[in-house]
Structure 1
Amino acid sequence: MDIVIIEDEELAAESLTDLVHQIRPEARILKVLKSVKESIGWFEANPDPDLIISDIRLGDGSSFDIFRNVPLRIPVVFATAYNQHTLEAFKVNSVDYLLKPVIKEDLEQAFHKYEELNAKSLETSLSNLQSLIGKIGGKNGTRRRFSVKQGQTILTVPTEDIAGFLAEEGVVLLYTLKNKRLLINQTLDQLEEQLDKQEFFRLNRKFIVNIKAVLVVEQYFQNRLLVRLVPPLDFQQIVSAKRVSSFKAWLDS
């Protein structure tokens, strides 16, 4: 069994490694990753392990930020200090969760649960977990930043610097307020769930806008609205007719 550990506390990582070797001596720890940035880079450059054991809170974000940028294809055991309500959600949707500090009996139980998975239950678990991550990943359930790849570099973009997200020709582009375009590996539907709904609004099926990027709103044909974006952004978007009422309420919120 090949395992990757995501843990930014050195003593906790060493303790977890020792426990793994005690319980499953044949297991290989391929890598101990210490940050969101390092983890995204490693998973993009290496074959998937059999299992991930991951802390949730990391120094540069949360492990949710990793799994939003890297497709979740393998089981995850989370180490967490989240409240009981969230723990129950993880109990249902992830392979398992471990309360820190991790003890041998709990980790052993997690391994048993992993080994009992079949293909169908794993597929359901990963699908449910991806949805859960989208809902509870950031402060008050919203994203604080996005990690995006540009060439061989991984950039971190705070949400407050984002003008919007545009879907076109099968891809989604993140636009910054300085009119920089970055390719992001998520759909608008996924993004809509993750973003602060006071700051971001889905204007139509192709565009999500940040309130900071709205320069002026004008009446348009067929009861729609035209939104002009602040400079240096050089384009405009139409608010679909069915969203006009909720858009006006969003502007006043």
Structure 2
Amino acid sequence: MNILIFEDEALAAERLARLCQRYDPQMQPLAQLASVEEAVAWLQGHEMPDLIFADIQLVDGLCFEIFRTVPVSCPVIFTTSYDQYALEAFAVHSIDYLLKPLRYEKLAQALDKLASLRQELSSGAPPAPEIDLDELAARLLAREPAFKSRFLVRNGPNIRAVKTEEIAYFYSDRKLTLLVSREGRRFPVDYSLDRLSEMIDPRSFFRANRQFLVHVDAVQVIHPYFKGRLKLELDPPIDEEVVVSSDKTPLFKEWLDQ
């Protein structure tokens, strides 16, 4: 299967290509195109690929402009940093969408869905509806990601609100989840790290391991560690080691570089 990647972040494009070949070694990336202009020129000068992965925001505009300019007959899977609540239309109008940072399990689900749809079409089922690009663009631009902006915490006998931008990191300690502010104050919160990962902006926070969820500005120093892992120094400092596992290291570097 020949695939085409519209992506303006080189590391993200390389990771996507690796994940695709992990799913199916026969998946061959034809090109990685960073702009609307490059993508239009490529499509006008080449045969249609079997599948397109399209990041929403390219260096010179939204990828929808590509599809308005060039008739595209192959399936499209969108990739994006926006949260799923801002993208309800994609589940209906396109093959699928993937949230960044990309994860293999989600990619495999999207490709399984594509295989199922192709099987249905080959058996004579009616084709899927065409993508309404204007509707998709309007919905995307009109709605903000629904990320949590503050947390209520107990401050002695009182309750106070801590803004998300004031948080350095979250970590789990036994059965407690603690919020650590940039000032170094610690407050228990009523959410697990798994739940917090879904509630806050993934462009600002990264799940370093099972114990830590860190804000990008809290990462002060990164040390190479054993077996391809990374050891982080955080601000405010913490006595425990904060180590990014080897399988998350490429995602972590991509996250820092965005």
TM-score by length of 2: 0.50
Q: Hey, what's the Cα distance between the residues in 2 that align with 1:65 and 1:122?
A: 27
Match of 2:128 among 120, 124, 128: 124
Q: Mark the runs of 5 or more structure 1 residues left unpaired by the alignment.
A: 142-253
Q: Mark the runs of 5 or more structure 2 residues left unpaired by the alignment.
A: 143-258
Aligned-partner SS, 2:88: helix
In structure 2, the residue matched to 1:81 is 81
1:143-154 to 2 correspondences below 5 Å:
none
Q: Is the 8 A contact 2:6 2:33 kept in 1?
A: yes
Q: Is the 8 A contact 2:81 2:101 kept in 1?
A: no
In structure 1, the residue matched to 2:105 is 105
Structure 1 residues 71 and 22, CA gap change in structure 2 (3 angstroms): same
In structure 1, the residue matched to 2:28 is 28
Q: Is the 8 A contact 2:48 2:72 kept in 1?
A: no
Question: Which amino acid in 2 is paired with 1:87?
Answer: L
Q: Hey, what's the Cα distance between the residues in 2 that align with 1:101 and 1:47?
A: 30
Aligned length: 137
CA shift digits 1:3-28 (9 cap, x unpaired) = 00110001101111111111110111
In structure 2, the residue matched to 1:65 is 65
Q: Is the 8 A contact 2:89 2:136 kept in 1?
A: no
Structure 1 residues 68 and 97, CA gap change in structure 2 (3 angstroms): same
Q: Hey, what's the Cα distance between the residues in 2 that align with 1:92 and 1:136?
A: 10
Identity %: 42
Q: Is the 8 A contact 2:90 2:136 kept in 1?
A: no
In structure 1, the residue matched to 2:135 is 135
1:54 Cα deviation after fit: 1.0
Structure in which a larger fraction of residues adopt helix: 1
Structure 1 residues 104 and 124, CA gap change in structure 2 (3 angstroms): same
Q: Is the 8 A contact 1:75 1:122 kept in 2?
A: no
Aligned-partner SS, 1:77: strand
Question: Which amino acid in 1 is paired with 2:94?
Answer: S
1:77-226 to 2 correspondences below 5 Å:
77-117=77-117, 118-119=120-121, 123-125=127-129, 127=130, 129=131, 131=132, 133-137=133-137, 140=141
In structure 1, the residue matched to 2:16 is 16
1:50 Cα deviation after fit: 0.6
Structure 1 residues 34 and 74, CA gap change in structure 2 (3 angstroms): same
Question: Which amino acid in 1 is paired with 2:128?
Answer: T
Q: Hey, what's the Cα distance between the residues in 2 that align with 1:18 and 1:95?
A: 20
TM-score by length of 1: 0.51
Aligned-partner SS, 2:82: coil
Aligned-partner SS, 1:37: helix
Q: Hey, what's the Cα distance between the residues in 1 that align with 2:31 and 2:126?
A: 23
What CA RMSD, in Å, does the superposition of the two structures yield over aligned residues?
1.9
Matched, 1:43 2:50: no
Q: Hey, what's the Cα distance between the residues in 2 that align with 1:122 and 1:10?
A: 37
Q: Hey, what's the Cα distance between the residues in 1 that align with 2:34 and 2:26?
A: 24
1:88 Cα deviation after fit: 1.7
Q: Is the 8 A contact 2:5 2:54 kept in 1?
A: yes
Q: Is the 8 A contact 1:65 1:137 kept in 2?
A: no
Structure 1 residues 121 and 56, CA gap change in structure 2 (3 angstroms): farther
